[in-house]
Every structure is written in structure tokens, then in C-alpha cells.
Amino acid sequence: MSFSSIRLDSPVNMIVVVVLTLLAIIAVPWFWDRWKRKRLWRSATILLAVVLLVVTTGMAGNMIGGFFPTVGSLIGTGVYSGQGTDAEAAQNGEDLEKLRDTGVAHAREGKGTVVHMKVTGRRTKLTRDVTVYLPPQYFDAAYKELRFPAIEWIPNYPSGPEVFAVYGMPQQLDAAIARKALPPTVVIVPDPTGVPKVGHDTECVDEVNGTANDTYLTADLRDWALQKLGVSPNRQGWTIAGWSSGGYCAMNLVTRHPQWYGQAVSVSGYDKAQIDAETEDLFHGRQDINDANNVRVNVRLHPSPVQILAISGEKESYESYAIDQIRAAARPPLQFTSWRIRDAGHNMNTFKSQIPDVLAWIGSHTTSPAPAGRVADTTGGVLPWPLPKSGAHGALADTDQ
């Protein structure tokens, strides 16, 4: 049995661990007097109860947060083809063409194709895991000359691309494209953290005297996607989205690089990099670089023609406060929209409940697939497919909620 086959998100496994934990806790007083002269056995019983209690707590937190689907993904030995992906591609996706038959078969069922690979950045030389969703139209001959819009979806810390399937994103994307709430879109899900994950929250920034996470996630991945995936170079065809730390990453990266991105969506994100037990001081006293990665500062001092949707739950006081601060600081031409929703707290269920609305919002702001060299439709709606030669369509309006 491989570590990738041991599920951390299974309710059955959770029940088994809870039962074992309760039995271990009961065993401590039960055998205490009987093993009065067997101190080693007493110690072993206590240790077992403590370990199982820690495991139970960790599994419960993991199921709420949706961080790691398997033991393999937790310790970095996960087999991605066994974690919701359809295929494993070669380094940098050099052999994507071999997926054509799989993609065509999926397209007949209205499904996209999910593929995992390692991608090395041209500038940073960083190599990280990347999962890519290719829409049903990707291998369709009618779309061969068209450039697809792209979404870069940033996982929450300490997760990586393996959570893409845990969130049910492939099915949500299939449904959104089928009902024309979202145009056929390539979705890129990178690992924002690298190895090690635990205790190394990068917040997607270029660390002072450290790893160039921002450069990898923006310049490197965008350049790679333009060359290898054939996505649109139009900035309005590019959206960065994410939940929790991924939400902060989305807003920060888009406001820092408006020449490349048109939209950002943050669900339960915040306004600045954290400094806590999981996140070291990424800037090492450089207040100028700290400010350069503060969304609230950027939307006030360096507003750009980007559109941001920020969502927070009524019970998420910190995130809601941060969003209110960003809204108050935002200046034209930046367009800032916020939604305050009923929620179950800062957890995966709150995020998953927002996915259909988030995809619809992106669909109303991103471009439609268009021939290379032509500026795609950007008036706020989704054109029917295949694309007509001309025609008007309605736009979906932003509303603060």
C-alpha cells in the first residue's frame, strides 16, 4: 500500500481513527493499576493515546480546511495521477499532444482533462508541481486556431495542486462551461509553496534573500503557458483566483502585475503577508518591499485598470476587516467589488459554496477564445460557441453584497 492510497479526507478513516483514539484514552485508566509494575507498558499506553489524539485533531482540521487529500500529499510523495488527475505529462508538458485521444473522449462527455506535470521556470529555475485543466474544447479542431483565456488558481497554504480535485473544481468547471457561464478556459493550478510545505508559507512573494515565488507564479508560469498551452496573451484573458492565503496571493499578484492580468478573485483572503508560526519574516525588515506586497497600499498608491472581487464570510472578522480596508483605499481606474456572505467560518465548505458564483463572475469579465493576434471580446459577457463573426451580447453587472 502506497502513502497515496491512504486517504486523509475519508469520513470512514476519520471514524476509525476516532474510535481507536477513544479506546486508547479509555485504556489509560483501565490498565493503570494492573500495570503498576510495568512502567514501560504504562508509558506506551499514554504515548499511544496522545499520538492518536494528535492524529485525530490533525485529521479533523485537515478535513475542514481541505489541505491534504492523502498521506502522500502531506509528506510530498503523492502520486498525482491517483489524486483526481487524468494523466501525468512529461516535464513542462512537452508531451501534451499524447493526451489528444483522452481529451477527445472526455469532450464527448462534456468533461475537461486534468493533467499533472513538473514545470521549471525560465527565470527562476524553480521546479514545482502544476496541475492543468484543459476544457472540453481544447482538443476540438474547431478551436485549433483560438487562444483560450486562463485562470491561475492559487491553492491555500499548505496545500498544493492536489486539492484541485478535492474542491470538485473539474466538475464545477465542466458545468460552468456547459451552461455558458464561463467560456472554455484553461486553468493552471501551481504549487505556491514548494518543498518543504509545512512551516514554510511563502505568501507567493519574492522573499528577501530567499525564493522568488512571485516571479515563478507570474512571469515564469505565464510565459510557459503562452508557449506550451496556447492561451491568450490578452491581459483581460487572465485571472488569478484563490482561497485564504491563495486569495491574498491573487489580489497581490494582480495589483503588482496589471500588465499581465485583468482580474483577481479572492475568497477569504486578506491584504498583506502574515508573520506567524508558519510564515517567517519574508521581507527581513525591508518595509519598502513589505509595502510593495500590501494590497491596500497598492490599490491606493498604484491603482491600475484591474477588476477585483473579494469575498468574505460574516464570521470571518479578520478577512472582512481587511476587505473593508482595501475597498476604502481603492482608487480608479481599479474596480473593486466585495461580497459578504453567510458562512461556516474560515474553512473549505465556505469556499466550495462560492465556486459557481466565482466562475460566473470570472466568465462575465474574462475574454472569450479568439484567434491569435485578435483582441477578444471584453465587454463583460460570454459569447456563444463557436464564435460568431459579429453580434452583441448582454453583460453581467457587478453588485456589492
Which DSSP string do the residues of 211-263 spell out, in sequence order? -BHHHIIIIIHHHHHHHHT-B---GGGEEEEEETHHHHHHHHHHHH-TTT--E
Cell, residue 53: 489524539
Predicted structure pTM score: 0.78
pLDDT at 28 (0 to 100): 74
Q: Closest Cα to residue 304, out of 346, 353, 234, 252? A: 252
- Please work out, in degrees rounded to the nearest 5, the angle formed at the alpha carbon of residue 370 by the alpha carbons of 144 and 170: 70
Cell, residue 107: 469532450
- Tell me which H or E stretch contains 62: helix 39-65
Q: Positive or negative CA dihedral for 18, 23, 24, 28?
A: positive
pLDDT at 200 (0 to 100): 74
Q: How many CB atoms lie within 10 A of CB 396?
A: 14
Residues 358, 364 contacting (CB under 8 angstroms): no
Distances (CA, A) of 178 to 167, 195, 382: 19, 37, 12
Q: Closest Cα to residue 117, out of 66, 81, 71? A: 81
In one-letter notation, the amino acid at residue 367 is T
Residues 166, 64 contacting (CB under 8 angstroms): no
Cell, residue 125: 529555475
Residues 6, 38 contacting (CB under 8 angstroms): no
Cell, residue 278: 508558519
216 secondary structure, DSSP code: I
Cell, residue 34: 494492573
Q: Please, what are the averages of pLDDT over each run of 10 residues along the chain (401 residues)? A: 56 73 78 72 78 74 58 52 77 92 94 96 96 95 93 89 88 96 97 78 93 97 96 97 95 98 96 78 90 97 97 92 97 96 76 91 96 55 38 31 35
Cα–Cα distance, 212 to 209 (Å, whole number)? 9
Residues 132, 114 contacting (CB under 8 angstroms): yes
Cell, residue 200: 514554510
* Sequence-separated (6 or more) residues with CB below 8 Å from residue 346: 244, 268, 313, 315, 316, 319
Q: Buried (b) or exposed (e) across 311-321, using 16+ Cβ within 10 A?
A: bbbeebeebbe
Cα–Cα distance, 265 to 243 (Å, whole number)? 9
